[in-house]
């Protein structure tokens, strides 16, 4: 089922708006005013006042009375910890990602599809001064970067997704041709890995492998992120082997 059909027939409008309010917060913007929330969500200030008042009452938002700005509340932290504790995917992946992070000294991340975006759910940063980092919670469109395109390659409704989107440039190297995108995700499906350079973050190189379930549907993508200045220090084939082996280890334990 495509996104448009789902939103038209199955979503509750007010709940959908409320979720947009929570998702407006990010690592770059951890606190927001009502006016900023209105601009980011497209919801009027009068409607937002009811949403945020409810979220503050339930502990999902915290209001700073001096600045009149809002930030995510502790109820979300509690729920997030429950997800982490009960998630087999995260529990199984953590030691595998950590081992690869220590072995390579580069950033390793685990990503999933969330509302037709790529979202990072687990990450181990490179300890090196020059590094390409990905924060837990970060999102990106499914057409930009190896971690995103690998998720897209194995997504059941990938063709409808590609037809429905506009390919907007994030960097000068972002793919803007739908035909090129289709060809690349076809190659990812054939080869079992994806790679990219500077498509989402200029100077960042990625090698990614899919984590698939028994029916060969996508569960996650596992990614090594290396600064372009250090990428040629590695044999690319070795990176591909390592990321595919790590993804296979996760699959076998799920």
Residue where the block lists tokens 């280890």: 249
Q: How far apart are CA 135 and CA 75, in angstroms?
A: 21
Q: How far apart are CA 101 and CA 222, in angstroms?
A: 12
Closest among 65, 68, 59, 67 to 22, alpha carbons compared: 59
What band does 84 get if pLDDT is binned at 50, 70 and 90?
confident
Q: How many CA atoms lie within 13 A of 252 on its CB side?
A: 7
- Give yes or no for residue 156 having a pLDDT over 70: yes
Closest among 152, 137, 252, 129 to 199, alpha carbons compared: 152
Residue 7 is predicted with a pLDDT of 53
Please give the C-alpha separations between residue 208 and each of 38, 94, 147, 205, 220, in angstroms, as whole numbers: 36, 16, 6, 10, 10
Residue where the block lists tokens 């100077």: 203
- Give yes or no for residue 9 having a pLDDT over 70: no
Instruction: List pLDDT tens digits, range 94-113.
Output: 999 999 999 999 999 999 99
Instruction: List pLDDT tens digits, range 12-65.
Output: 788 888 988 998 998 889 999 999 999 999 999 998 999 999 999 999 999 999
Residue 254 is predicted with a pLDDT of 85
Closest among 118, 92, 114 to 225, alpha carbons compared: 118
């Amino acid at each position: 089922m495509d996104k448009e059909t789902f939103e038209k027939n199955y979503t509750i409008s007010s709940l959908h708006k409320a979720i947009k309010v929570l998702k407006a917060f990010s690592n770059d913007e951890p606190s927001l005013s009502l006016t900023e929330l209105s601009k980011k969500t497209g919801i009027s200030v009068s409607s937002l006042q009811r949403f945020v008042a409810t979220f503050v009452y339930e502990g999902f938002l915290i209001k700073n009375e001096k600045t009149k700005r809002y930030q995510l509340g502790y109820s979300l932290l509690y729920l997030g910890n429950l997800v982490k504790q009960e998630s087999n995917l995260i529990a199984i992946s953590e030691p595998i990602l950590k081992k690869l992070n220590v072995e390579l000294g580069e950033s390793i991340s685990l990503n999933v599809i969330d509302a037709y975006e790529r979202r990072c759910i687990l990450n181990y940063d490179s300890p090196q001064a020059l590094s390409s980092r990905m924060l837990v919670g970060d999102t990106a469109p499914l057409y930009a970067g190896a971690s995103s395109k690998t998720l897209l390659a194995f997504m059941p409704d990938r063709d409808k997704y590609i037809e429905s989107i506009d390919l907007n440039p994030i960097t000068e190297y972002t793919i803007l041709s739908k035909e090129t995108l289709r060809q690349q995700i076809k190659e990812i499906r054939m080869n079992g890995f994806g790679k990219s350079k500077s498509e989402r973050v200029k100077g960042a190189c990625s090698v990614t492998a899919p984590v698939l379930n028994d029916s060969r549907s996508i569960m996650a993508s596992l990614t090594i992120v290396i600064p372009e200045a250090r990428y040629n220090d590695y044999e690319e084939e070795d990176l591909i082997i390592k990321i595919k082996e790590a993804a296979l280890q996760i699959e076998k334990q799920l």
